Chains A and B, each alone.
Chain A
Amino acid sequence: MEYTLLILLLPFLSFLFLGICGKWLSHKTAGTVGTCVLAVVAVLSYVTAYEYFTAPRLADGTFATLMPINFTWLPFFNGSLHFDLGIMLDPISVMMLIVISTVSLMVHIYSFGYMHGERGFQRYYAFLSLFTMSMLGLVVATNIFQMYMFWELVGVSSYLLIGFYYTTPAAIAASKKAFIVTRFADMFFLIGILIYGYFAGTFNFGHIEGGSLVAVGDFSTVLGIDAEAAKYIPVALGLMFIGGAGKSAMFPLHIWLPDAMEGPTPVSALIHAATMVVAGVFLIARMMPLLIGFGAIGGLDVLSIVVWVGVFTAFYAAAVACAQSDIKRVLAFSTISQIAFMMVALGVCTELTTGHHNPGSLGYMASMFHLFTHAMFKALLFLGAGCIIHAVHSNEMSAMGGLRKYMPITHVTFLIACLAIAGIPPFSGFFSKDEILTACFAYSPFVGWFMTAIAAMTAFYMFRLYYGIFWGTENKKLHAEHTPHEAPLPMTLPLIFLAVVTCVAGFIPFGHFVSADGQAYDIHLDWNVAGTSIVIAVSAILLATYIYIGERQPVADAIQEKFKSLHRWAFKRFYMDEVYQFVTHRIIFAYISRPIAWFDRHVVDGFFDFLAWGTNALGFRIRGLQSGSVQKYGYVFFIGILILLGILCLAVF
């Protein structure tokens, strides 16, 4: 399957081509080139997936882990440790290939309509290609170091795309914030990688073969690590989780994601909903065998940290999402909440076995399943939001309301996505969320009930958003001035495609492809959990309907009036940005950075300035010696000769 290299190479070439020659291309040509390349990549991904999943399983019932390409890129001096580059195909990376190439293709097509006539259209497509290349490289990485390289590339292309409207100060600030926050987390990731490489003696991932922990390639060395070195593996894994938490916007490193909505909406759909932000989840899933095998040595249980960070983030983001008025912000916080669901699902996966008889292993499959379905319906929601913003030229819900009359296709597809995220059968979100809740209940009833409650909040705020956009109070004045219209075909086509995927994706026998130990098993709905979650989701939707459907919303106003301070806190995102502002500006900048800057400017710079000044002053003093008058030189020369002659005479006689 050497052709998988093309999946990475084609977007990269398209990036180079559009980036270098874009200036001389028309918008239409540039967009067509980008989209065609992505279409080829998508087809190649599907072919890869088809070949991979139809190939016969190994004797132990798992899919083989293939490495079509793998070469040593940078060997270390001692030779046992080396950086490799290559392509690794296993069930989750193949699944990610499908997710990324599909969403990216949809976004490419959609951008034709959304970015129509924008300045820098070619640059936009070049950056999209770069992002797609980096993300695909990240998921097929053969080792953690290659993953880190593409991880950073993803961060850079995200930075470029958030700051696409580089003349807007808000976009520049948002892109810097996103880059700095994720980069800060990546520092821990890098330290984790280095600790892992040092103590494990390899940068490769671990995986399961024949029921025992082995690593891809030369992992036999890991099995041989002594108990002393094994103590450091959980530390490394914990640091890696911080990196993953930064990319996946887990509390308290989530602050960049809502601001990242300053970028163009299709970019939000691709990067900040479907692909990049799940990189952290993917990382944890990749390290899963190690987390289970080594995660709890030395009094540090990384998996339970993952669970509690995830639970808190899911709750926090859902609470904030209930009070936001900017539709993209609502979607951003719902993304954070949903990613936290995936994190929790991974955290509650405590054993690598198969099937509903062993609920401890359910989380892995549930998380990957939710990643898959969420990518589709969240991309759909964002693209739908893009159509709405395109129609009313505002992100605020106050400019919307009653749009169902004007935009029927957007309305229906948006409703489908809302139902999916709320967890209503038969839409895809129901199945994946149900698996997560089952896994949570198996872990602990508290986590199970808590996550169910958050699922209810999800349903509530999504339908608050839905009613706020398509029903509710219509901004008649604005709509009379500028009648909203349905988006053009390139924009509605991806909506329809993704809506169809959202309707059918739940029926994919996902357990046959991805499971904790690679064995095939049938997803089995636990009707206790499923029934509860359906009842709760439906009642949350009904509550949202009761409050928000009408032209006038007395209940909503009354609640807002009654819990005024709570509403303000939630609207201000519980002042997390202000806390960061305070900590960075008032404490770190004022008490650490400023004194260091003063020291640098006055002591270090001062010393070198003094040296330069001294040399200069000395030169000024003695420049009179170099008079330029040949006669003076001759005079000195003559005296010198006389002195030498004198010495010579003294020496001779």
Chain B
Amino acid sequence: MIQIEYILIISAVMMFAGIFGFLTRRSTLAILLSIELMLNSADLNFAVFNRMLYPNGHEGYFFAIFAIAIAAAESAIAIAIMINIYRKIKGISVDKLEKMKW
């Protein structure tokens, strides 16, 4: 049986990779991918804690599935926004997105 620490380490790596990507990437698409990465690390935590600590319960699985569904919907909206941004400024880099500044 795989030890819980290994899975948590993978989850933490995913989380920090997501945070790093979110803070440093300039493309909105890459930022969206980073957000997905963070969400998935959280989902992984839900699943593994449920499996290892409370084997008789199902709340963690449900919550993970729920979060995946929400993330899918959110991605759809985010990509729609990006398409609109692309139409306005001919690009999706956040550096160029200064329309609503000040």
Residues of A within 8 A of B (CB): 623, 626-631, 634-635, 638
Contacts and interface: CB of A to CB of B under 8 A. Distances in A.
Contact of B102 (A626, A630, A631, A635): A626
A628 B23 contact: no
A638 to B, nearest CB: 6
B22 A628 contact: no
B100 to A, nearest CB: 6
B19 A628 contact: no
Nearest to B102: A623
A627 B31 CA distance: 18
Contact of B22 (A626, A627, A631): A631
A628 B31 contact: no
Contacts of A629: 94
A631 B19 contact: no
A638 B19 contact: yes
A629 to B, nearest CB: 6
Interface of A is mostly: helix
Contacts of A630: 94
Contacts of A627: 101
Interface in B84-102: 94, 98, 100-102
Nearest to A624: B102
Interface in B1-37: 19, 22-24, 31
Nearest to A630: B94
B36 to A, nearest CB: 15
Nearest to B26: A631
Binding site secondary structure of chain B: helix
A631 B31 contact: yes
A223 B5 CA distance: 104
Q: Top 8 nearest A-B pairs by Cβ distance?
A: A628-B101, A635-B23, A631-B23, A634-B23, A623-B102, A628-B100, A634-B22, A629-B94
Contact of B94 (A626, A631, A638): A631
Contacts of B100: 628
B26 to A, nearest CB: 8
A116 to B, nearest CB: 66
19 contacts: A623-B102, A626-B102, A627-B101, A628-B98, A628-B100, A628-B101, A628-B102, A629-B94, A630-B94, A631-B22, A631-B23, A631-B24, A631-B31, A631-B94, A634-B22, A634-B23, A635-B23, A638-B19, A638-B23
B33 to A, nearest CB: 14
Contacts of B19: 638
Nearest to A632: B23
Nearest to B95: A629
A627 B94 CA distance: 12
A623 B102 CA distance: 7
Contacts of A631: 22-24, 31, 94
Contacts of B23: 631, 634-635, 638
B58 to A, nearest CB: 31
A214 B82 CA distance: 92
Contacts of B24: 631
A638 B34 CA distance: 15
Interface in B45-95: 94
A337 B90 CA distance: 90
Contacts of A623: 102
B19, B23, B31, B100, most chain A CB atoms within 10 A? B23
Nearest to B20: A638
A362 to B, nearest CB: 86
A644 to B, nearest CB: 15
A452 to B, nearest CB: 87
B59 to A, nearest CB: 26
A634 B23 CA distance: 7
Given A631-B94, A635-B23, 6 more contacts: A626-B102, A627-B101, A629-B94, A630-B94, A631-B23, A631-B31
B18 to A, nearest CB: 11
A630 B32 CA distance: 12
A635 B20 CA distance: 9
A635 B94 CA distance: 15
A194 B98 CA distance: 66
Contacts of B22: 631, 634
Nearest to A628: B101
Nearest to B100: A628
Contacts of B102: 623, 626, 628
A623 B101 CA distance: 10
Contacts of A628: 98, 100-102
A627 B98 CA distance: 9
Nearest to A641: B19
A215 to B, nearest CB: 72
A295 B53 CA distance: 105
A628 B101 CA distance: 6
A626 B19 CA distance: 21
Contacts of B31: 631
B92 to A, nearest CB: 14
Nearest to A626: B102
A630 B28 CA distance: 11
A627 B23 CA distance: 15
A125 B94 CA distance: 72
A631 B31 CA distance: 9
A635 B19 CA distance: 9
B90 to A, nearest CB: 19
A82 to B, nearest CB: 60
Contacts of B101: 627-628
B94 to A, nearest CB: 6
A629 B102 CA distance: 11
Contacts of A634: 22-23
A491 B39 CA distance: 97
A629 B95 CA distance: 8
A626 B98 CA distance: 12
A621 to B, nearest CB: 13
Contacts of A626: 102
Nearest to B99: A628
A619 to B, nearest CB: 10
A433 to B, nearest CB: 83
Nearest to B23: A635
